[in-house]
């Protein structure tokens, strides 16, 4: 049975004692407080956790209606009951205005008190449900930063303490829905009691469970012990049927309730590192760094040579390019996971576009939207790497089966060679000799197969590589000209402007991240 506190206010001491004794006899776990006037009652209300007030109307100086009105205005969560020897209409009307729970007419019998207590208990249960819902909504809006200034002023009322605390954000890999999330909340509530007080709620929009933990001051003062206790608590939860959970944990904040937004952001940041370490289960903000806003190498740098390698059926080169993008990332900081997904989506689109001649015309298996959705479902870096490599292997198999004549295959391999050696001193004659062609015959064959002569193809390739360097680096233009195969900066400037209509410096100012040099 619940422990409740009921205050009885009456200027007749005998009446107060009698009612107090009856309530304690009917509900032994209840606590009663006694006051003989409004001033004494209000002092008790300010310092005691009171659930309901039974007050007589007629008392010296201030009457019971004054007290009821003040409670309704300043402590509306407290239930009020009026006791009176009069049943006048004006008293009853005022009682209704101040949301009085019950209006009892003296003399009051045992059955009247029992009926009142049963009614109060039903209302207390209802109040509890509303209070929990209100608290959950309050803290949900607090972590999202959507509280109004007036609502922020109430934080002290909702926070169990003004001491240290942290945030844990739970994520399940399964799709069992809200029932299982509710079970996890209950299970975690059992574990957290030893650490402090908490508010735990569901963030359905993010499919997360959020736990705000106000730590016991003794535990908060011993960080290593705190980490050990939280880790062990989470291990017990996982062992109790929640093996699929991952958890992000924020740093400890001294005045936690004032820093819940920052702490929530830290816990989410930590949890998002699961993308790179899917075998781990607990991610501490103190162990990770913010994500990088750049992926290197980029999709632009990888896809063009990858298309050439697939067309030429050069498996080892194609897989080398895939591995260079999905490089082993062993320590934070990592690239932003969303950027990795965007780059993969771009690579898929460019592969389909560049290899459309290899793809079956009557199959929707290679439709871009379908493939993009499939890749979006993969949860972590390792799975994305595996699935992208499988895609490339499928494309290599299609390239192998495509009926290409010997000369066509050799031209594709020439193109792939140029992708890797555009920065070197290559010429029509040197490439023809490498592939055992007569220079004149090779020139005609190259144009026939590609639609463009060798010199223009090489020039376009070098210009495109230079564009990437201008966009993505602060290197000097003279250095870029040499690294893309142009012997002098003057010749590079001339050819770049001829092909693009603007100078390298102007292109960088329009598209690059660095200053023109």
21 token code pair: 């004794």
Query: Does residue 291 surpass a pLDDT of 90?
Result: yes
Mean pLDDT of 410-429: 90
pLDDT (tens digit per residue) in 5-16? 999 999 999 989
Residue 55 to residue 345: CA distance in whole angstroms: 70
Query: Does residue 514 surpass a pLDDT of 60?
Result: no
Query: Does residue 113 surpass a pLDDT of 70?
Result: yes
Backbone angles phi, psi at 516, to 5 degrees: -70, 140
Question: CB 506: neighbour CB atoms within 10 A?
Answer: 14
Query: Does residue 516 surpass a pLDDT of 50?
Result: no
More confident residue, 360 or 285: 285
Query: Does residue 321 surpass a pLDDT of 90?
Result: yes
- % residues pLDDT > 70 (the chain): 92
pLDDT (tens digit per residue) in 115-154? 999 999 998 888 776 665 577 788 888 898 888 777 777 7
**Per-residue model confidence (pLDDT) at position 99:** 76
pLDDT (tens digit per residue) in 211-233? 999 998 888 899 999 999 999 99
Range 5-25 burial, b when 16+ CB lie within 10 A, else e:
bbbbbbbeeebbeebbebbee
Please state which of the ranges 137-151, 276-290, 367-381, 438-452 shows the lowest mean pLDDT. 137-151
Confidence of residue 366 (pLDDT cuts 50, 70, 90): confident
**Per-residue model confidence (pLDDT) at position 257:** 85
**Per-residue model confidence (pLDDT) at position 91:** 59
**Per-residue model confidence (pLDDT) at position 429:** 93
**Per-residue model confidence (pLDDT) at position 76:** 82
More confident residue, 64 or 118: 118
Residue 511 to residue 93: CA distance in whole angstroms: 75
Confidence of residue 250 (pLDDT cuts 50, 70, 90): very high
Query: Does residue 408 surpass a pLDDT of 90?
Result: no
Query: Does residue 201 surpass a pLDDT of 70?
Result: yes
Query: Does residue 456 surpass a pLDDT of 90?
Result: yes
**Per-residue model confidence (pLDDT) at position 436:** 84
**Per-residue model confidence (pLDDT) at position 281:** 93
DSSP codes, 190-250: HHHTTTEEEEEEEETTTTEEEEEEEE-HHHHT-HHHHHHHHHHHHHHHHHTT-TTEEEEE-
Residue 241 to residue 436: CA distance in whole angstroms: 67
Mean pLDDT of 28-38: 92
CB 351 within 8 A of CB 368: no
Grouping H, G, I as helix, E, B as strand and the rest as coil, residue 405 is: coil
**Per-residue model confidence (pLDDT) at position 64:** 85
Range 439-455 burial, b when 16+ CB lie within 10 A, else e:
eeebbebbeebeeeebe
Provide the sign of the torsion angle of the four alpha carbons 378, 381, 386, 391, taken in this order: positive
**Per-residue model confidence (pLDDT) at position 215:** 93
Mean pLDDT of 8-31: 92
With a threshold of 0.75, does the pTM exceed it?
no
Residue 477 to residue 436: CA distance in whole angstroms: 36
Please state which of the ranges 74-88, 223-237, 262-276 shows the lowest mean pLDDT. 74-88
């Amino acid at each position: 049975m619940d422990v409740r506190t009921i205050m009885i206010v009456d200027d007749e001491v005998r009446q107060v004692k009698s009612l107090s004794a009856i309530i304690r006899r009917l509900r032994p776990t209840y606590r009663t407080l006694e006051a003989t006037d409004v001033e004494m009652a209000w002092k008790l209300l300010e310092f005691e956790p009171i659930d309901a007030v039974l007050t007589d109307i007629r008392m010296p100086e201030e009457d019971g209606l004054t007290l009821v009105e003040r409670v309704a205005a300043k402590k509306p969560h407290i239930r009020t009951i009026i006791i009176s020897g009069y049943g006048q209409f004006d008293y009853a009307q005022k009682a209704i205005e101040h949301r009085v729970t019950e209006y009892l007419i003296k003399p009051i019998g045992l059955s009247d008190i029992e009926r009142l207590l049963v009614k109060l208990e039903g209302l207390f249960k209802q109040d509890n449900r509303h209070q929990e819902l209100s608290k959950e909504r309050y803290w949900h809006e607090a972590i999202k930063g959507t509280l109004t200034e007036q609502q922020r002023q109430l934080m002290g009322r909702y926070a169990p303490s003004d001491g240290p605390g942290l945030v844990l954000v739970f994520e399940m890999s399964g799709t069992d829905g809200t029932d299982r999330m509710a079970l996890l909340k209950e299970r975690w509530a059992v574990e957290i009691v030893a650490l402090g007080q908490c508010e735990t709620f569901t963030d359905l929009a993010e499919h997360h469970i959020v736990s705000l933990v106000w730590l016991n001051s003794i535990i908060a003062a011993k960080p290593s012990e705190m980490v050990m206790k939280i880790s062990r608590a989470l291990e017990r939860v996982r062992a109790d049927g929640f093996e699929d959970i991952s958890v992000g944990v924020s740093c400890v904040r001294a005045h936690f309730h004032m820093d819940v937004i920052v702490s929530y952001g830290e816990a989410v940041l930590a949890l998002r590192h699961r993308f790179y370490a899917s075998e781990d289960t607990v991610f501490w903000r103190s162990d990770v760094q913010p994500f990088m806003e750049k992926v290197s190498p980029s999709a632009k740098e990888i896809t063009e040579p990858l298309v050439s390698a697939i067309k030429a059926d050069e498996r080892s080169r194609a897989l080398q390019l895939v591995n260079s993008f999905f490089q082993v990332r062993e320590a934070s900081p990592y690239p932003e996971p969303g950027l990795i997904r965007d780059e993969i989506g771009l690579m898929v689109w460019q592969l389909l576009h560049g290899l459309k001649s290899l793809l079956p015309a009557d199959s929707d298996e290679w439709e871009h939207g379908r493939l993009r959705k499939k890749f979006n479902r993969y949860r972590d870096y390792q799975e994305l790497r595996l699935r992208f490599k499988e895609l490339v292997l499928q494309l290599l198999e299609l390239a192998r089966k495509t009926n290409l004549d010997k000369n066509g295959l050799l031209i594709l391999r020439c193109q792939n060679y140029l992708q890797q050696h555009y920065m070197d001193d290559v010429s029509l004659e040197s490439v023809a000799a490498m592939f055992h062609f007569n220079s004149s015959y090779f020139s005609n064959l190259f144009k026939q197969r590609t639609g463009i002569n060798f010199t223009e193809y090489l020039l376009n390739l070098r210009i495109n590589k230079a564009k990437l360097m201008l966009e993505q680096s602060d290197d000097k233009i003279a250095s870029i000209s040499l690294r893309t195969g142009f012997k002098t900066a003057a010749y590079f400037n001339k050819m770049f402007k001829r092909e693009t209509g603007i100078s390298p410096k102007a292109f960088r100012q329009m598209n690059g991240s660095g200053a023109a040099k």
